[in-house]
Structure 1
Amino acid sequence: MKHLMLTTATLMALTTMARADDLRMSWWGGDARHVATQEALKQCGTKYGHTIAAEFTGFDGYLEKLTTQMAGGTEADIIQVNWPWLPLFSKDGTGFADLRSLTAIDLSQWTEEQLTAASMNGVLQGLPVSTTGRVFFFNKTAFEKAGLAIPTTWDELMAAGGKMGDGAQPFNAVKETAQLIITLSVVQKTGKDLVDPATNRVAWTAEELAAGFEFYNQLVETGTILSAKDEAAAGGVNLFEKPEWADGRIAGSYEWDSTYAKYADPMAEGQELVPVEMLTFADAKTKGVYRKPSMVFSVSKNSKNPEAAAQIVNCLLNEEEGIAALGDSRGLPASKVAAEWLATNGKVDPMVKAANDIAMAADGPVISPFNEHPEIRGLFLDTLEEYAYGMIDAPTAAQVVIDGANATLAKFD
């Protein structure tokens, strides 16, 4: 009887210990991501003796739910966080656990640039799950039909304006893409990101940003892109849904490397879409690549077992069990070992890999998540629309963006 009592007590203690180690993970996504992540959690949990409760939903409403949980300290142990949200939850670097202090994670699988991009106030607040960048895609068939080489510089692109035939444009620049083209031009000319990390204020002068607006206007005047009025008259349809894109009458764009299939799949038979190196100015200081973590995995500062959470995160991102199960459900992995495993095992579209290689190899300043703060992004787009319709001039547009962005940034001092 005494032996039975001891055995029962031991089992109860082990059960209590297992429950203490139980973890939760929250994320957003579609059905394919949900299935892949649950399988990965099952594999990694089995490997390390943890059980992980899955909390998943679509993107809509996720930020609101996470905000409520963070405010009450009830967030999951492992959290998928959109990169631009890091300043919202951790402007001083204390919103999440410091991942450099957790020994279970092999940080050598990421570059210091990648880790810096996921840090706040110098504290590593998340691990980049995938690193994505804006890349130039051109319709090789359309340029060959026009007797033109695929552009390698901005001058060559503008020289193609009006020469594609059938009223075609060599390039697309609408809404966010147009705004990022302006950003790219200023970064290439100045070597500076929008936000100076030392001052947390806009790094560009009004003159530098005004030149970016004027460059956008130059693209319109040379017939390189459609004007905002012409785009509006066309109904504001997404580029990949336009028949002009499918048949090559719009022959290029500046898109995320991971979205290659979204733009290549709708193209008519015989049309070939290829990723190309960054277009630059003759006097560019940098290629100015807009490269960022697409999302990060963070560990809650309120987790009762942060080392166990870190163990699972490392398994998901750096170990075969997690890598194989997750696949490319969150894009091409940022972890070197994960990217190599997927490539070796034929799990990566060669064109997506080529686009990602371009984005990863190009130089440029570290991008601040404030570039995508809703207030700053909205202000930039609204001001660009006013400029494109001739309501304000370039110097005025530049000053409006700078003043408004600085007002938003001041809230995070």
Structure 2
Amino acid sequence: MKLKMTVLAGLMAATSLSAVQAADLRMSWWGGDSRHLATQEALKYCGEKLGHTISPEFTGWSGHQEKITTQLAGGTEADIMQINWPWLPLFTPTGEGFADLNEFSDTIDLSQWTDAELATSTVNGHLQGLPLSITGRLPWFNKTTFEKAGLEIPTTWAELEEAGKVFKEKLGEDYYPYEATGQDGLDARLLMTAYLTQKTGKTMIDPETLELNYSMDELVEALNMYKRFSDEGVIIPWPKVAAGGNLVLNENPNWSDGHIAGTYQWDTVYFKISDPLQEGQELVPSSILLAEGATNDGVYRKPSMLFSISKNSDNQKAAAEVVNCLLNDEGAIDILGTTRGLPASKKAFDQLMEAGEIAPEQIEAHQIILDATGPTISPYFEHPQIAQAIGDTLEEFAYGQIDAETAADDIIYNVNDVLDRLNR
């Protein structure tokens, strides 16, 4: 009798398991060759372990958003998708664009993420994706150039401004302690919003009300700070950056030889921006520069990307199993490594740390971001229309075509206009 019960229990378990496992799934993502190869290997590992067949669909970054947009519109998207965090307002403005992963808490070990991390990808109470890595912006400084100028690494905006003067006196007019222009003026925007967030305790766009938080006077103050930094040679003037071909930092010879000695970049880019440095130069992460009277660090912290599950998938449970395997399984963690940044899953991060897969500089930078304070930011800040609305005005201001008051007024009008249109 005991043997019969054991056999029966085994058959019932196998039947139940196969009902979940016999799934043909698709997964889509963007990335480079290293991510493509690692993800395909991890999918094969998880598929064999769970009994699923998972077809990979991968591309480069260019055009991927458009591809996902078309698929979602037609209901032909993959079961599992890699989603860029700023796309949430585009694809799931009410929290119903993807499957709610809270419904699969018995399958996905959500305890590996903090409540704050899960909140970043929660819309109207619906968990619309799992953060793959938490990233943020912080200063990186060329310690060698600062030592050459006889300076310590700055910790405040005032010290950075003073460093600009010292650089010019001791090193030459073509030396800069910082750079802040970037594509579409993103770096300029981030410099200004970090300062204003510290001073006001508010982020630019309220994530709850989706309203612009900054007043005319506050924006004018930040714009004047940016202009002062540009005029004094603390940062490279926008027209000079454009005249030099708008080179990305890691391809800029002035970065490689130490003429540009500081930047405001993601915590995950250490090797990308350190590898081009000439021999003998040392790049170090720094705490976020603070304004006088700062109420917080003004950290710009967000998920770099998410794994989401299609609401149209016929195999959501199986897809959830695969997602959990990719992010929390020891074997898959080993395969994927840091191909999507430093993992947000605590289990994955701890495993890679113990294996020595994360550089000390990356660990230090990441801890600065995790420890830094600041209000929750809205993914609307990186919405293409918001970026253009602010970037175009900043460019006019940087070229001296409009004054700070006009620029602030234009930013308020343009951003509010975009937000109104997006949230009708």
TM over 0.5: yes
Q: CA deviation at 1:403?
A: 1.7
Percent of matched pairs sharing the same residue = 53
Question: Alignment partner for residue 216 of structure 1, among 213, 226, 229?
Answer: 226
The residue identity in structure 1 corresponding to 2:76 is T
Q: How many residues align?
A: 401
Between stretches 96-105 and 222-231, larger displacement belongs to 222-231
> 1:170 aligns to what?
177
Q: CA deviation at 1:17?
A: 5.6
Q: CA deviation at 1:336?
A: 0.9
Matches within 5 A, 1:48-127: 48-102=50-104, 103-127=106-130
Between stretches 111-120 and 96-105, larger displacement belongs to 111-120
Q: CA deviation at 1:178?
A: 1.5
Structure 2 distance, partners of 1:222, 1:97, is 51
The residue identity in structure 1 corresponding to 2:180 is A
Q: Does the aligned pair in 1 maintain the 2:20–2:318 contact within 8 Å? A: no
Q: CA deviation at 1:234?
A: 2.7
Q: CA deviation at 1:201?
A: 1.2
Question: Alignment partner for residue 31 of structure 2, among 29, 32, 42?
Answer: 29
Structure 1 distance, partners of 2:232, 2:133, is 37
Task: Please state if 1:298 is matched with 2:308.
Answer: yes
> 1:6 aligns to what?
none
> 1:388 aligns to what?
398
Task: Please state if 1:322 is matched with 2:329.
Answer: no
Q: Deviation per CA, 1:155-188, whole angstroms, max 9, x where unpaired?
A: 1111111212122111111132122101111111
Q: What is the RMSD computed on CA atoms of the aligned residues?
A: 1.8
SS at match of 1:304: coil
Q: Does the aligned pair in 2 maintain the 1:185–1:215 contact within 8 Å? A: no
Between stretches 240-249 and 121-130, larger displacement belongs to 240-249
> 1:346 aligns to what?
356
Q: Does the aligned pair in 1 maintain the 2:21–2:318 contact within 8 Å? A: no
Matches within 5 A, 1:8-407: 21-102=23-104, 103-164=106-167, 165-167=171-173, 168-174=175-181, 175-407=185-417
The residue identity in structure 2 corresponding to 1:134 is R
Structure 1 distance, partners of 2:21, 2:249, is 50
Q: Deviation per CA, 1:116-160, whole angstroms, max 9, x where unpaired?
A: 111222311000011111010001111111111110111111111
Structure 2 distance, partners of 1:226, 1:21, is 55
Structure 2 distance, partners of 1:19, 1:119, is 28
Q: Does the aligned pair in 2 maintain the 1:166–1:249 contact within 8 Å? A: no
SS at match of 2:135: strand
Q: CA deviation at 1:19?
A: 8.6
> 1:7 aligns to what?
none
- Residues 1:341 and 1:18: Cα distance change in structure 2 (over 3 Å): closer
TM (norm. structure 2) is 0.91
Q: Does the aligned pair in 2 maintain the 1:160–1:170 contact within 8 Å? A: yes
Structure 2 residue runs without a partner (length 5+)? 1-14
- Residues 1:59 and 1:235: Cα distance change in structure 2 (over 3 Å): closer
The residue identity in structure 2 corresponding to 1:328 is T
Q: Deviation per CA, 1:191-247, whole angstroms, max 9, x where unpaired?
A: 111111332111111221221111101212332112222223333222222222112
SS at match of 1:69: helix
Q: Does the aligned pair in 2 maintain the 1:26–1:78 contact within 8 Å? A: yes
Between stretches 45-54 and 134-143, larger displacement belongs to 45-54
Q: CA deviation at 1:20?
A: 5.3
The residue identity in structure 1 corresponding to 2:49 is K
Structure 2 distance, partners of 1:375, 1:115, is 26
Structure 2 distance, partners of 1:319, 1:379, is 43
SS at match of 1:332: coil
Q: Does the aligned pair in 1 maintain the 2:192–2:223 contact within 8 Å? A: yes
The residue identity in structure 2 corresponding to 1:166 is G
Between stretches 222-231 and 310-319, larger displacement belongs to 222-231
Structure 1 distance, partners of 2:20, 2:296, is 52
Structure 1 distance, partners of 2:55, 2:264, is 39
Structure 2 distance, partners of 1:248, 1:115, is 39
SS at match of 1:274: strand
Between stretches 34-43 and 193-202, larger displacement belongs to 193-202
Q: Deviation per CA, 1:282-309, whole angstroms, max 9, x where unpaired?
A: 2111101111111100011111121111
Structure 2 distance, partners of 1:404, 1:282, is 30
Structure 1 residue runs without a partner (length 5+)? 1-12
SS at match of 2:90: helix
Structure 1 distance, partners of 2:189, 2:84, is 20
Q: Does the aligned pair in 2 maintain the 1:134–1:289 contact within 8 Å? A: yes
Structure 1 distance, partners of 2:74, 2:246, is 41
> 2:4 aligns to what?
none
SS at match of 1:54: strand
Q: Does the aligned pair in 2 maintain the 1:22–1:52 contact within 8 Å? A: yes
